Amino acid sequence: MPGFELFGDLEKKEVNDVLENGVLMRYGFDGMRNGHWKAKELEKALESTFQVNHAQLVSSGTAAISVALAAAGIGAGDEVILPTFTFVASFEAVMMLGAIPVLVDIDDTLTLCPKAVENAITSKTKAVMVVHMCGSMGHVDALKDVCDKHSLTLIEDACQAIGATYKSEPLGSIGDLGCFSFDFVKTITCGEGGAVITNNKEYYINSDHYSDHGHDHDGNDRGAETHPFLGYNFRISELHAAVGLAQIKRLPEILRIQKINYTILREALSHIPEVTFRTVPEGGEENYSFLNFFLPNLETSLKVSDAFKAQGVDACFQYYNNNWHYIRKWDHLKELKSLYPIPGEVKAGLEYLKTKEFSQSDHFIGRNISCLIKLSWTEEEVKARAFKMVEIIKNSL
């Protein structure tokens, strides 16, 4: 991770197909295309790779979440449960629809705690969004049981876990809807882009129409299409889809390299008694894009993180004070700093953030260090990195 580390002739060929015919838009201009439909090809590849009936490409992972929620009929005043540890896009995508993000604790999977989810359900709850952070997954079966019990939509944000599986099922394909991001630093990249996947035909049709101004895409004359309902512009371009089409062909290679590099690092760190690793639910396999481990306490974790930076061990993240990925520093959310008036329902629904404490999340995030696994490392570089990480950790304990 990320896929751009392997850019080459395959990406150039797919992009040149688009540039040669001159059609950058994914819809229309049939006569000019010379048979090239990159977005449609990538959607078919996504359906095959992730074993689902339907895939809809959109402009970003953030857009994918908003489109997925809208496709399931979730909007103004509805509550969506999501974790305290995620990227800011998760709550942004919820709030864009006028829905209310209800943040709850994580557990040692670094994803949603099923008990915390159950305790947060109210009469307004409409969906649970599990965010498969840093390449692995939550307790999917338990979360499905909670959703089934309370008739809630389960949405998988698998933006950081493309290629991971649970009981041989690809992440993103297990819930009612799954969301991917293909931005520049994801496992496979389009530069910018995302996708919604589902086995529910109604949700797919809703996603297809909603992401393109409500167009019904019936026939081959765009000007004659009707608009069954309101929509917005979350389209991907053919150029972005072309890059993604090349990248998805590389996914097995990417996962193979990540697993090799991850395994070398984990094996080295496993000999330190004070180091433990995130829980991967039984039957789950990570995509190996991050190595996540715990140290005994917050102080040690911060000390090790600082030492990593000082001694050139890059791409390792301590999220406790991170303002992109963890609730402690999301002051713009807590204080509702907005360019425009926030809907009254959302404003009232977020009052809890002013006083709510998340001690369980602090316990896990405070002790965690998350290390990105790069595709470009040589075996010698990975081994040298492992040696240095072990040395720093031991000296910090």
- Known catalytic residue: 186? yes
* Catalytic, out of 186, 334, 374, 383: 186
What pLDDT does residue 128 have? 98
What pLDDT does residue 1 have? 82
Architecture of domain 3-250 in this structure: 3-Layer(aba) Sandwich (3.40)
What pLDDT does residue 218 have? 95
What pLDDT does residue 190 have? 97
- CATH homologous superfamily of domain 251-325+360-396? Aspartate Aminotransferase, domain 1 (3.90.1150.10)
Sign of CA pseudo-dihedral 304, 306, 310, 315: positive
Q: Per-residue confidence of the chain (397 residues) as pLDDT tens digits?
A: 899 999 999 999 999 999 999 999 999 999 999 999 999 999 999 999 999 999 999 999 999 999 999 999 999 999 999 999 999 999 999 999 999 999 999 999 999 999 999 999 999 999 999 999 999 999 999 999 999 999 999 999 999 999 999 999 999 999 999 999 999 999 999 999 999 999 999 999 999 999 999 999 999 899 999 999 999 999 999 999 999 999 999 999 999 999 999 999 999 999 999 999 999 999 999 999 999 999 999 999 999 999 999 999 999 999 999 999 999 999 999 999 999 999 999 999 999 999 999 999 999 999 999 999 999 999 999 999 999 999 999 999 9
For the whole prediction, is pTM greater than 0.95?
Answer: yes
Residue 396 near residue 307, CB atoms below 8 Å: yes
Residue 370 near residue 134, CB atoms below 8 Å: yes
3-state secondary structure the chain: CCHHHHCCHHHHHHHHHHHHHCCCECCCCHHHCCCCCHHHHHHHHHHHHCCCCEEEEECCHHHHHHHHHHHCCCCCCCEEEEECECCCHHHHHHHHCCCEEEEECECCCCCECHHHHHHHCCCCEEEEEEECHHHCCCCHHHHHHHHHHHCCEEEEECCCCCCCEECCEECCCCCCEEEEECECCCCCCCECCEEEEECCHHHHHHHHHHCECCCCCCCCCHHHCCCCCCCCECCCEHHHHHHHHHHHHHHHHHHHHHHHHHHHHHHHHCCCCCCEECCCCCCEECCCCEEEEECCCHHHHHHHHHHHHHCCCCCEECHHHCCCCEHHHCHHHHCCCCCCCCCHHHHHHCHHHHCCCCHHHHHHHHHEEEEECCCCCCHHHHHHHHHHHHHHHHHHC
What pLDDT does residue 257 have? 98
What pLDDT does residue 328 have? 97
> What are the structural domain ranges in the chain?
3-250, 251-325+360-396
How far is residue 274's CA from residue 270's CA, in Å, rounded to a whole number? 9
What pLDDT does residue 63 have? 98
